Amino acid sequence: MTTTSFRSVFDAAFIRSEFDQSGINTQFIPSIWKYVIQNPNCEWRDIPSLPAAAYSLLSSKFKPCTSAVDSVSDSADEVTTKLLIKLQNGASVETVIMRYDSSLGKYGGNPRSGGPRSTLCISSQVGCKMGCKFCATGTMGFKSNLSTGEIVEQLVHASRISPIRNIVFMGMGEPLNNYTALVEAIRVMTSYPFQISPRKITVSTVGIIHAINKFHDDLPNLNLAVSLHAPVQDIRCQIMPAARAFPLGKLMDALAAYQKKSQQKIFIEYIMLDGVNDEEQHAHQLGKLLETFEVVVNLIPFNPIGTLSQFGTSEDDKVTKFQRILRNTHNIRTTVRKQMGQDISGACGQLVIDLSKKKSTSLTDIEDIRR
């Protein structure tokens, strides 16, 4: 939450409430959003055709954006761009753009219709309280939740760099621990003028059971991804301390209820840690755990995070064998996530804010593995 009296114009509930209280038609709000998106650094008086009361209200309580892009880092192959975004309260978060070209088949894969597309990896919190031992963000601890506006503004900033077609909430933080702001931000993103299809938005969670139980009712047609990372509870607890609060049996019951209600596949994220969870026995255990579900398992090679973690990356042949067991023995659709943005610390698990240092192959898009 921001600490000054000015709120982001994209804080949807707040601006609607203020417009209602002032007797201003809330139908003007989407056109205000569109103007702000298309006109960086605009002044309120620049927006045409608003009631006089709207100009006064906007000037007294809102900013077009409460955050600003502090730095932009491009990977050597120019496929990945990481934005360091400074918030109004002085804190920072990172968001990552990943580019794909489906029409040309560039960066691997078969040519598809649709032309170039970008996926945006969005942060939901400053830091994270989950403390996963393989994730750099967890070393920050939890600092604060982002407001609805601060979440949406990541899309605003990114869309000025590249057209965004898909969104994944896999950046800093545990999205379901900031549930109210998450739901409101996604409702903004799926409405005018953004109009991102719900089916092109994926929310990742370590398994917050009570939030999963209401996820489909609040956000129908979205994709749910679960950071499972181990097939048994004791390994989960070793590498994901927060898993103690979400026993694996109860989590799987919640996922079964979610899938029965939503009739949608669930994406399972599984980071491959050498000698920890990547043996053949683990593959068979995972297959048995998921055999009654309709899932896509995404195997994620561990990204080095320096001295922040002592884990090693699984060898390619172990990943291949793990994938083969899931596919051939247990008939579970399985992909391997190819790494993007390692050279700018923008890959999975590498997002971490160090303010003292902030100036410093084939790809599979989330959209492709839905098919």
- Residue-wise pLDDT for 136-193, tens only, equals 887 889 999 999 999 999 999 999 999 999 999 999 999 999 999 999 999 999 999 9
Q: Report in angstroms the alpha-carbon separations of 172 from 34, 138, 160, 220.
A: 27, 9, 21, 23
Token digits for 117? 């597309």
Dump pLDDT digits (tens) for 337-352: 866 444 444 444 444 5
Burial 179-194 (b: 16+ CB within 10 A, else e): bebbbbbbbbbbeeeb
Dump pLDDT digits (tens) for 259-287: 999 999 999 999 999 999 999 999 999 99
pLDDT of residue 285: 98
> Quick check: 244 pLDDT over 50?
yes
pLDDT of residue 347: 44
Residue 170 makes CB contacts below 8 A (sequence gap 6+) with: 121, 122, 202, 204, 225, 348
Query: CA-to-CA distance for 71 and 78, rounded, in angstroms?
Result: 16
Residue extents of the structural domains in the chain? 7-63, 87-369
Tell me if 28 sits within 8 A of 16, measured CB to CB. no
C-alpha neighbours within 13 Å on the C-beta side of residue 340: 25
pLDDT of residue 113: 44
What are the beta bridge partners of residue 257?
none
pLDDT of residue 307: 55
Task: Indicate the residue type of 38.
Answer: Q
Please say whether the structural domain 87-369 has been given the CATH code 3.20.20.70: yes
Task: Indicate the residue type of 223.
Answer: N
Closest by alpha carbon to 78, among 50, 116, 42?
A: 116
Token digits for 107? 């960066």
Report the pLDDT averaged over residues 207-231: 97
Q: Which residues are catalytic?
A: 94, 348
- Give the helix ranges, DSSP H, for the chain: 12-21, 29-38, 52-61, 148-159, 179-189, 209-218, 233-239, 248-262, 280-290, 316-324, 366-369
Dihedrals φ, ψ of 299, to 5°? -80, 130
